């Protein structure tokens, strides 16, 4: 295993600043490569310093030391005391997990030439997990989407807990007004005139003397169509056909169950998968080329999942009364999401030069949402919720689009390379805008739920 060590640190350990093989120190890279041998090869701090000095005074090849070369230098040396051994080990522990610069990275890790420093390079997994609490150029990339993941996890739990057994309909807000307008006392007096045995009905409810109460009731007048006939003849206005229809129209919405929530939860699941995959990728991709390859593909799959599932709430709730249009749009965006995931598995897709193509594919997926939005405005042009949700969807598109432009253009670090290595570079801004866009879509989804809960088809 090879670790990058700062040149000035090596020089201070070696105690030399002279030329080597006719080449000045300043002509070499700021970093040089050293192997990390086992503890048994270290004898003392002085011994390690001596060996580094020998390598510096040698040819340039000595700076890229292989384990074999280093072990050759150690062969034949006598064992020193355990205290000196521990000093040597502590020396290497100080050196082996240094943050490095862009030019010292392996080729597969070079993505943004305007971020000049603070890179982790091929660290062990233990050190990588611990680095989530340290400062480097991926710290905010990890935390912006990790915090976004926990935000949407909370929103999912909150939404599930607040989901009503019966919808909170708009008509419920005016129910007290409707009851207040009704003259319930006059209705009771009119019913008493129509059904003489009605005053004794309370005895049944109290169950004081069931047999006596039953004999006191005129059951024949309370049976079947006889009751309906009496009420219709006695109270023609209250029991007219038009009146009954109006009452049913007023009451029936109160008996409707809430609309299905699965499209909304699909979006929340897609958002959480995208945010967690992105955060994990930025944390672990510096471990090795193989792990980087895997994590980048999971990251791209998460982006595709977020875009595809973002269509589910607006498409389903807009066209739920038009099954053909609903399933046509849902099927189309689902196939596009799967295709983009498959395309992201191709090795060339993660290369830096394909950055623009990656952004273009994801942009086209999002832009395909224009068709169902226009269709919605035509179909529900007189519906206030249609205009309200369209406004949120435009805002979401602006946030996502702005994030994509910043990501591709590498703004602002391209204007001042090295000034935004820790905070403020394009990928961090892109992450913030993605979380903002996803939250905007969450608010948009709540409007769809209230709309369909109150009106149905």
Q: Which residues are annotated binding-site positions for Zn(2+)?
A: 282, 427, 431
Binding site as annotated, residues: 282, 427, 431
CA–chain centroid gap for 92, Å, is 40
Torsion of CA 139, 140, 143, 149, to 10 degrees: -140
What is the rounded distance in angstroms from the CA atom of residue 173 to the CA atom of residue 389? 23
What is the rounded distance in angstroms from the CA atom of residue 220 to the CA atom of residue 203? 18
- 3-state SS class at 418: coil
**Parallel/antiparallel/unpaired status of strands 2-6 and 31-35:** antiparallel
- CB–CB of 34/64 below 8 Å? no
Helix segments in 223-261, DSSP class H? 224-234, 241-251
Distances from the Cα of 457 to the Cα of 93, 319, 377, angstroms: 67, 9, 16
Closest CA to 310 of 130, 444, 447: 444
What count of other Cβ atoms lies within 10 Å of the Cβ of residue 385?
Answer: 18
What is the rounded distance in angstroms from the CA atom of residue 248 to the CA atom of residue 181? 17
What is the rounded distance in angstroms from the CA atom of residue 320 to the CA atom of residue 146? 34
What is the rounded distance in angstroms from the CA atom of residue 92 to the CA atom of residue 316? 60
DSSP notation for 170-214: HHHHTHHHHHHHS-HHHHHHHHHHH-TTGGGHHHHHHTSSHHHHH
Phi, psi at residue 403, to the nearest 5°?
A: -60, -40
Whether the bond between 189 and the residue before it is cis, its omega within 30 degrees of 0, is: no
Q: What angle do CA 300, 304, 309 make, to 5 degrees?
A: 150
What is the rounded distance in angstroms from the CA atom of residue 116 to the CA atom of residue 125? 23
């Amino acid at each position: 295993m090879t670790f990058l060590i700062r040149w000035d640190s090596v020089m201070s350990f070696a105690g030399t600043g002279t030329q080597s093989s006719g080449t000045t120190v300043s002509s070499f890279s700021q970093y040089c490569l050293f192997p990390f041998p086992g503890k048994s090869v270290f004898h003392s701090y002085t011994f390690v310093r001596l060996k580094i000095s020998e390598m510096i005074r040698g040819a340039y090849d000595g700076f890229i030391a292989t384990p074999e070369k280093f072990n050759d230098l150690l062969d034949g040396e006598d064992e020193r005391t355990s205290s000196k051994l521990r000093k040597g080990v502590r020396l290497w522990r100080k050196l082996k997990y240094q943050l490095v610069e862009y030019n010292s990275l392996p080729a597969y890790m070079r993505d943004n030439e305007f971020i000049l420093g603070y890179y982790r390079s091929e660290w062990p997994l233990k050190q990588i997990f611990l680095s989530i609490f340290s400062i480097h150029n991926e710290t905010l990339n990890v935390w912006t989407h990790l915090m976004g993941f926990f935000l949407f996890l909370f929103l999912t739990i909150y939404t599930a807990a607040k989901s009503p057994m019966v919808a909170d309909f708009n008509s419920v807000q005016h129910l007290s007004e409707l009851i207040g307008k009704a003259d319930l006392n006059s209705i009771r007096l009119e019913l008493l005139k129509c059904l003489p045995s009605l005053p004794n009905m309370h005895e049944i409810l109290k169950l004081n003397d069931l047999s006596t109460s039953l004999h006191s009731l005129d059951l024949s007048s309370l049976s079947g169509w006889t009751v309906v006939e009496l009420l219709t003849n006695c109270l023609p206005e209250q029991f007219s056909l038009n009146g009954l229809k109006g009452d049913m129209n007023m009451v029936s919405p109160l008996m409707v169950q809430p609309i299905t929530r699965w499209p909304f939860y699909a979006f929340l699941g897609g958002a959480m998968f995208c945010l967690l995959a992105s955060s994990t990728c930025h944390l672990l991709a510096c471990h090795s080329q193989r792990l980087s390859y895997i994590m980048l593909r999971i990251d791209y799959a998460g982006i595709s999942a977020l875009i595809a599932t973002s269509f589910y709430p607006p498409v389903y709730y807009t066209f739920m009364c038009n099954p053909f249009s609903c399933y046509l749009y849902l099927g189309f965006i689902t196939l596009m999401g799967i295709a983009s995931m498959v395309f992201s598995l191709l090795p060339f897709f993660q290369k830096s030069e394909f950055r623009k193509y990656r952004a273009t594919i994801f942009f086209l997926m999002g832009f395909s949402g224009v068709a169902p939005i226009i269709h919605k405005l035509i179909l529900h042009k007189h519906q206030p919720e249609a205009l309200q949700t369209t406004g949120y969807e435009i805002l979401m598109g602006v946030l996502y689009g702005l994030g994509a432009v910043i990501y591709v253009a590498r703004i602002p670090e391209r204007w001042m390379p090295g000034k935004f290595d820790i905070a403020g570079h394009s990928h961090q801004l892109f992450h913030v805008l993605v979380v903002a866009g996803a939250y905007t879509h969450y608010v948009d989804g709540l409007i769809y739920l209230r709309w369909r809960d109150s009106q149905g088809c």
